[in-house]
Chains A and B, each alone.
Chain A
Amino acid sequence: GENVEQHPSTLSVQEGDSAVIKCTYSDSASNYFPWYKQELGKGPQLIIDIRSNVGEKKDQRIAVTLNKTAKHFSLHITETQPEDSAVYFCAAITFQKLVFGTGTRLLVSP
């Protein structure tokens, strides 16, 4: 079955810096890769996703890249703000099941 690994587990940056979170997956049949943000006391919320026929997708300060050959994908947040502080999860879908990474706790200090 699918296995998703996520790094780092924690990431501390200064406000205005960039943050990068990386994930690898094992099943080459995976074709959909969402990223979720989970704030304290809330459920995960989808922030961006990418499909296997696309190499990069951007939405304002957030971008995701996908390398299908290497089976890894990354989340890039530019000009980080304190409100970006949360836990971020990557996921990969295979056979209609989402498999999640273990999460990255991002702390943005003012």
Chain B
Amino acid sequence: ETGVTQTPRHLVMGMTNKKSLKCEQHLGHNAMYWYKQSAKKPLELMFVYNFKEQTENNSVPSRFSPECPNSSHLFLHLHTLQPEDSALYLCASSQDIKYNEQFFGPGTRLTVL
């Protein structure tokens, strides 16, 4: 295990639902990341938090809303999603954004009906 956990592992939701993805890291890191992984596409960086402050929003639609209450926890709140948002959502952490090595969680497989 990498020390990064994600829940739930699988999620099916309708387009009008509101749900949240949770990530927790047990590595004492200060930077956390959300990535989207779709079939046959490179991993797409969505958000970056460093010491609880958002440092990157990679032009992500507002229906995705991140929250980082402390350096160990990261949430991704989902609202009014589209079927094309179905993907594997990966959380990662690193010591801070200056340290390149990132540790990934197992991901949440999201299906939007």
Binding site for B on A (CB under 8 A): 4, 32, 34, 36, 41-46, 49, 89, 93, 96-103
- Give the distance to chain A from B94, nearest Cβ to Cβ, in Å: 9
Residues of B within 8 A of A96 (CB): 97-98
Contact A44 B104 (CB under 8 A): yes
For the complex, would chain B's binding face be called helix, strand, loop or mixed by DSSP majority? loop
Are A102 and B41 interface neighbours, CB within 8 A?
yes
A32 to B102, alpha carbons, bound, how many Å? 12
Contact at B90–A43, with CB atoms within 8 Å?
Answer: yes
Residues of A within 8 A of B102 (CB): 34, 46, 98
Decide if B42 touches A34 in the complex (CB within 8 Å): no
Q: CB < 8 Å: which of B100, B106, B107 contacts A98?
A: B100
**Chain B residues with a Cβ closer than 8 Å to the other chain, count:** 21
| Interface positions of B (Cβ within 8 A of A) | 2, 4, 40-43, 45, 48, 56, 90, 92, 97-98, 100-107
CA distance A51 to B96 in the complex (A): 18
Number of A-B residue pairs with CB-CB distance less than 8 Å in the complex they form:
46
CB–CB A99/B100 < 8 A: no
Q: A48: shortest Cβ distance to chain B, in Å?
A: 11
- Name the CB-closest residue of B to A5: B42
B90 touches A44 (CB 8 A): yes
A36: shortest Cβ distance to chain B, in Å? Answer: 8
A101 to B103, CA, bound (A): 17
Can you report 5 A-B residue pairs in the complex whose CB atoms are below 8 A from each other? Answer: A34-B100, A34-B102, A44-B104, A96-B98, A97-B48
Q: Closest B residue to A51 by CB, please name it.
A: B100
